[in-house]
Each structure stands twice: as structure tokens, then as C-alpha cells.
A and B are shown apart, each in its own frame.
Chain A
Amino acid sequence: MLRCFFIFLLPLLPASLLSQDAIRMAPFPKAVELGSPGLWGTLESYKVRLSCPPQYLSFISIPSERTEWKFPFETAPQLEKYLSESGLTPDEIAYLLEEAQVFPAEESLRVFPSPEVIIGMPTALRAKFYRILARFPENTFHRRPAFLNTANVSRYFYDSHFKVEMLRLIATLSYPTPSGHGFFLSDIPYLMKQAMSSEEERQLLNALLRVPALMVRLNLSDLTSAEELTDYWTAGFKNKQVRPLFESVMGNTHVDRLDVGHLLPPMARRSLNSFPEQSDGLDGRYPDWFWTCYNFFRFTPRNVYANSEEFDTLIQSEFMKSQDLYEFGDLLLLKSKGRTVHGCIYIADDIVYTKNGSGLFSPTILMKLQDVVAYHDLEGDVILEHYRNTSTKRSISHFPTGVAEVN
């Protein structure tokens, strides 16, 4: 039985990661985690792993089991020089390219390493080398690896019906994230070797595409200040829509918990724990992180994206840089080398509302802030910039003539 095995990444971890992830290694069953009390009250959370709609899987081109690395160079010496300048030793470079087949292609080199190199690569080298590969968008599996936010592989893939051998293989191929929190898994092609049929290939991809999300609820059993709590979750005027329900729940002595989904603005609630609908992409693209953040308080979404021309203008005109403590609805930008690599919305107790990719397979979810940072921090240098939404133009101050005045 799968339940009997607990495969941890612990032996592979550097010492600095041990204490951090030790709390994540409780055996089954996992438990609801109690957060730290604050202005938001006390939150409870647990993880679920979201599967995309089954029909989406048919959109995926099944990768070959041959691993391929791509580099924007024309010759092998250029590649070796670049790897050397990036911090790899001559021995490491030789190991990686040993028995590799190298194809020159259009302004790039396609490198097909031997399977022995993939499975035998030391974890430290894998982490170092795959960070280099992630710099080039063509290396999609390294650029956007699967993120395991736990060292407990058997728990992470619970319900995936993986055999123990597969779990061991995943443990071998996983490597610490640059930020040191959680693990990445990039060797999806190598894992395809384990699939004996098309059905198993789909199962494998489905399991790898499942996204860990937090289910969060507000514990109402020990309220100290209802007014303070209401102020926090309504974010002043910006989230006023939830006040009527919140006031009612606060006055109901029978209620001990309220799902935080009820406290999100309507548009954010609509997207929570949902993969994009195919119809979301009718205008040519799917929502990305900026679309998600910008529309958090809006009732009707506006189609703006991280690379939209209006991006800088909107940040300057509707948000204000803040040094205060994070509050509900604040925008957090993740910056790497001066560039914005991601953004998310702060909810409470270091839980954020985030959409980590712009494609069909990226749902909008609640996550721990440190998990979001680890997921996007491919260079290990991400810093956070904190902004507060200052726009008040969403309010309806008067009803124009012609509205339906019915009771």
C-alpha cells in the first residue's frame, strides 16, 4: 500500500533546509494548520491539490523521454565557455556533456544528455546547472519546473497512484529551489520512461500538473475585537461588499469558522481555486499574475497584463509604494535583478492570492508567501516590493437615471 511509504527528500537537503522543512514531515494524516493570530483573527489552513479539467490534458503534447537542453550558442566551445563562466567546474562540464549528442540548430545548440547523466547527477550540481538552464526560455521544464513545497514526496503525490519506484525516482530527480524553500522537479521527460502506456503518460502528467492550493478559513471561536476584524477584511472601502455577510456571521454565535473565500471580493472569489476557462482566452490570451492582481478589487475585470503598455502607468496611478505592515489586498511584487518576475495579493498571515502562470494549467489559488517566492525565485535573489491599492473609483456614489428601481 502506498500509505506505508514515506519518501522524504531529507537526505538530499543541505543543513540549512532541515529545520525549515522538518515541520512538513509529519506522517499521514496531514492536519489543519493553525496560523498566527493578528488583525485578521486566526486562520486555519490545509492543502489540497487541484487537478485541471480532464479535457485540458488532451491539449498537451506528450514530451519525449529523451531529455533536451537548449542553449543560444552556435558551437560547443562557446557553450563550455559559458558554463564555465556561470560557475561550473571543468569536471562538472565534462560530466554533463559526457556522451551527450549535440545538434546545432537555428542559432542554438540542442544537447541530448545521456540518461545516465540525468539519473546520476549529484543534487548540488543539478540545482546549480538547472538554474543556468532556466535562464533560457526554450528549456521549458527548467524555466518552469514542478514545485514541490514539501519534502514528503509520498504525501505530495498522494492519490496519484504512483508506484514506490516512481516516488523514489522523483525524490532522486528533485533539487532544492534557489531560495532554499521547497524543491523543483524538471526532469519530466526522464520520468516518461516509467509510463508504459498512453494512459499512464496522462496519469503522470496529470499528477505533475496538479497544483497545491491552500483552503483557508477564519476561526471565529475566539473573537477579541469584531470591529477590528471587520476593518481588516473590508480593507476600508475597497472590500465593502463583504461587510453585510461578515457582520451577520460575526453576530451568529453558532458559527465557529468562515471560509475565507466568502471574504474575497466577488471577482477574486470567482477565480479562486479555478483553472482558466477556455473562454477566458477568447481575446487571445489568458489571465496572468498582473491581470489577477489588478482585478482583485474590481467587479468587472479589465484586460491588462504584465507586459501591457499600461503596466507602469497603472502601478503609478492606482498603487502607492508602502512601508507599512502588509494588509488585505496589498500588491506584492517579486523583483529579481530589478525586473518584476511575479506579483500576488496579500490576504493575511503570510497567505497570498496568486496566479503563478499565464496558461490554462495555472489556477488562481491561495498560497503561503514563502512558497510563492520559492516558486518564482529562479536566481535566489528575489526581493519583495509592497504596494497599496489607492484607487477609489470603483465606488458607486450615485445611481443614474434609468436604473431598475424595483424592490
Chain B
Amino acid sequence: MVFAGKADTTRSGTDPSALRSTTGPWGTLQFYEVVIRPPSGNLWPGLYDEKSIWSFPDLGKVEVKDLFDALNFSVELKTLIYEQAKWTVQGNFTEVEVNDAIIEKMTPEDRLSLTNWWKTNHADFFQRSITNFEDKNFTAISMALSPEMMHHLRSVCFLRGNVLSTFDRPYLLRKLNSRLEKEELIRTIFTTHSLIVRLEVNPETNLESVIQYWEAGGRNPRVRSIIEGMRSTSGADTLDILHLLPPIPRKYLNSFSTLQDSFPGTAPDCFWTAIQFFRPQTSYRSFDELPVEHFIIGDFDEVEAPTQFGDLVCLFEEESREFVHSYIHIADNLVFTKNGGSFVRPWTLSTLDRMLAIYQSEGEFHRMTFRTITTP
């Protein structure tokens, strides 16, 4: 990993919401974690589906049974599926609607192998069905759900490499009665962690150096007077870095996508977010199905360490070099990110490890870092 300067990250106990800090060329940043749940208005009807349906494209019923064999499902599980599941063929798709008994019979290994098959063979279904959790300890989620519901949730979660996931949201919804309870469950499942980050300025702070860091070589010119304004004010020893972000990330930080931002079938995601970090206006062009290079060449230079404020980092699968995720480097291990093109995932400031918790399912990534080209 390439971090600028010598960061000294300290942590107060094990409470993730407690104040932490890091010092480097960016100054001293204090930060604490907050958890954000999507507003009810951002929950689309499909999230409330209570039927547990597995979808298999280009496979008939026989081939699906062969698949279960290949995935090493137990005899007991397969028997339950064959006796109790509802099988439907819709065009090229075979759909299997499973009940509670089948779900409760599944092991984490069964879930993992089935998920991996979907990821490879049915990416759209994978994206719609799999929910990933940033916090494997469910620290925030467990405070919002009953012990009984937490028991159900834990029972249907499984690890994909380093990522904790589930595809059994319908099963959990069936355990609840009222619409309000279901809404709260969905909002809670999609809990996302963000950070409130503050720049500390004290008499020992090398203000010029700090200002230079946040100005990012002229890409973010408005921060000087704001940082300098603190210097002569008694009691103003910290500045929320909301004020140090360019206009676009400032608008979206800790907010959720809206229909105004979206196009049919697509909504702002990580790459949309990363390439527009320093832009004065957003562009719908970034929704068009174009290769990553289309948006990089001419607007960004690839750079080596040290990474600086505003750099765009792209993560690729190590072997296949398939694009996985992109984010903006803020300072030390702090990033600005939108984890997926979902209406229930907000733009956040996050720690690198927290963000990677939902992406690092298969080993390390190949990283490429890009810096916005400044016009003279």
C-alpha cells in the first residue's frame, strides 16, 4: 500500500465510534465513525420481496440438479429441494423457489458455492441478491435488531473470502409481520459506515504545508482562506473536512442517490464518483457503457506513490485485471467512496479497510493510481 508520510493512527479502545486520529502531510485529522441507514424513500419494491428464488440462466431442471451435485450440496439438502421447492421455467431461466426448511438446512459452504456460481454465470442476479456487510461483528446492526432477528441474520450469513454476505433477505422478511418492521429491517441490513473527519489546527501546525496538501496542486484552490480563517480564532481548533472537499463530493457526502442522478438501469457508482471528484459539474456521460480508459486518458495521469489528496485509485482483480472498484484517496488510510451503484448505499468517507471489507473476496488487488490533469 502506498500512503504518504508517516501516519500515526491511534485508536481509543475498540469502540469504532470513538475518536481516532492520524498525522501526516495532511495535518492532524481526527475522525470518528457514524452509521447511516438509507431513508425509507430510497427502498424500492424489490427489496421487500419475500419469495426466496434462485435463478439459473440457460439451465433446464436436469442441469440445475447436476449443478447442485457439482456444488456439493448434501443429500439431505438436495432431497429437501427436490421435495419442497417450487420449480418454474421462464424462457431461458429455471427458477427455484425455496422455503424456510431448505434455507435453514444450508451451510455457509453451500451458500458460498452457490454465490460464486451466480457471480460467474448470472452477474445481474448476483448484484440484485447479494448483500454485503461492512462490519463482520454487526456492532451497529445488532443494536437495531432484536436478539431473535440477529440469530436469524447470523444463521444465513457466510464469508466470501474476507467479505461477509447473505442472499436470504426474503427469509428474514418472512419472520416479520408489519410493513414498518420490514422497512426497519431493510434499512438496518443496509447500514453503511461513514466518518466525520476534522482537521486539527494548533499553534504547532505547519499551516502552509497543510494548505498545500489540501490544495492538491491547485486542483482545490478554495481551501486556503478557510484554513487560514481558523488560525486567529480562539476555540476554533478543528475544521470539518466537509469544507475542504470540492463541490461535488461536498454535495453527495453522506447522501443517497436520487432518481435525478440516475439513468435507466444505472445510477451513480464508485467510478462515477471517482472521476468527477474535482469536476465543477457532474456529467451523465459517465453512465455510458465505455471502457475505464475512455474516462482516464486525457483527463488523468497515472502516478506512483506517494498518493495525495484527490487521487483516483482503481482496483482490479490481480489475475484477470477485471475492474472491481475505484475510490478517491483523502489522506493516510481515509478514502471517499460510493460502494456500488445502489440507491441504498451512500457516498461516504471511510477507512480503507472498512471499504475493502465488502470487496476483498479473492486475495489482493492490482492497484492503479491516477491524478487529475490540471489545465494551465
Q: Which A positions have Cβ atoms within 8 angstroms of B?
A: 28-32, 44, 46-51, 53-55, 158-159, 210, 215, 217, 240-245, 247-249, 252-255, 257-259, 261-262, 266-267, 269-275, 277-280, 299-300, 395-400, 402-407
Contact = CB atoms under 8 A, between A and B. Distances in A.
Contacts of B59: none
Interface SS majority for chain B: mixed
Nearest to A26: B234
B260 interface: yes
A407 B127 contact: yes
B260 A300 contact: yes
A47 to B, nearest CB: 7
14 contacts: A32-B233, A32-B234, A48-B230, A244-B38, A252-B34, A259-B243, A261-B242, A270-B251, A273-B243, A277-B281, A397-B41, A399-B45, A406-B340, A407-B344
A271 B256 CA distance: 18
A242 B236 CA distance: 24
A49 B225 contact: yes
Interface string B223-267: 011101110111110111011000110111111101111101111
B233 A46 contact: yes
7 tightest A-B contacts by CB?
A48-B229, A270-B251, A32-B235, A259-B240, A277-B280, A248-B34, A402-B264
Contacts of A402: 264-265
Interface stretch (B90-98, B128-136, B147-155, B296-304): B128-136
Contacts of A28: 232
A154 to B, nearest CB: 11
B343 interface: yes
Given A29-B233, A48-B230, A254-B19, A259 B242 contact: yes
B44 A399 contact: yes
Contacts of B252: 266
B41 A396 contact: yes
B36 interface: yes
Contact of B128 (A32, A44, A277, A406): A406
Contacts of A240: 39, 41
Given A215-B236, A248-B34, A300-B260, A407 B128 contact: yes
A265 to B, nearest CB: 9
Nearest to B190: A407
Interface string B26-66: 00000010111111011011110000000000000000000
A273 B243 CA distance: 8
Nearest to B192: A244
A389 to B, nearest CB: 18
A407 B258 CA distance: 15
Contacts, number: 181
A400 B346 CA distance: 20
Nearest to A243: B39
Contact of A29 (B190, B234, B340): B234
Contacts of A277: 247, 280-281
B32 A269 contact: no
A32 B253 CA distance: 26
B41 A210 contact: no
Interface string B100-143: 00000000000000000000000000011111100000000000
B251 A241 contact: no
Contact of A274 (B18, B247, B258): B247
B225 A248 contact: no
A397 B42 CA distance: 9
Given A32-B236, A396-B41, A404-B342, A280 B280 contact: yes
Most buried by B among A28, A210, A273: A273
A404 B265 CA distance: 4
B243 A407 contact: no
Interface string B262-292: 1011110000000000001100000000000
A245 B258 CA distance: 17
Contact of A31 (B44, B225, B233): B233
B217 interface: no
Interface centre among A50, A253, A277, A406 (most CB of B within 10 A): A406
B239 A215 contact: yes
A170 B247 CA distance: 34
Contact of B221 (A30, A53, A397): A53
B222 A273 contact: yes
B354 to A, nearest CB: 15
Contacts of A30: 232-234
Which of B42, B131, B190, B221 lies at the interface centre, i.e. has the most chain A CB atoms within 10 A of its CB?
B221
Given A249-B34, A403-B343, A404-B262, A46 B236 contact: yes
Contacts of A32: 233-236
Contact of B247 (A44, A242, A271): A271
A299 B252 CA distance: 10
A405 B126 CA distance: 11
Contacts of B342: 404, 406-407
A280 B333 CA distance: 33
B225 to A, nearest CB: 4
A50 B242 contact: no
A259 B241 CA distance: 10
B250 A272 contact: yes
Nearest to B257: A404
Contacts of A54: 221
Given A248-B35, A396-B258, A406-B127, A159 B251 contact: no
A31 B17 CA distance: 29
Contact of A47 (B47, B229, B261): B229
Contact of A395 (B41, B222, B251, B254): B41
B226 A405 contact: no
Contacts of B233: 29-32, 46-47
B341 interface: yes
B267 A404 contact: yes
Nearest to A260: B240
Contacts of A271: 247
A55 B222 CA distance: 11
B196 interface: yes
B352 to A, nearest CB: 21
Given A273-B226, A280-B280, A403-B343, A244 B240 contact: no
A241 B260 CA distance: 14
Contact of A258 (B17, B129, B196, B280): B196
Contacts of B259: 396, 399-400, 403
A162 to B, nearest CB: 15
Contacts of B337: none
B194 interface: yes
B13 to A, nearest CB: 10
A405 B44 CA distance: 7
Contacts of B41: 240, 395-397
A269 B106 CA distance: 47
A402 B267 CA distance: 11
A245 B194 contact: yes
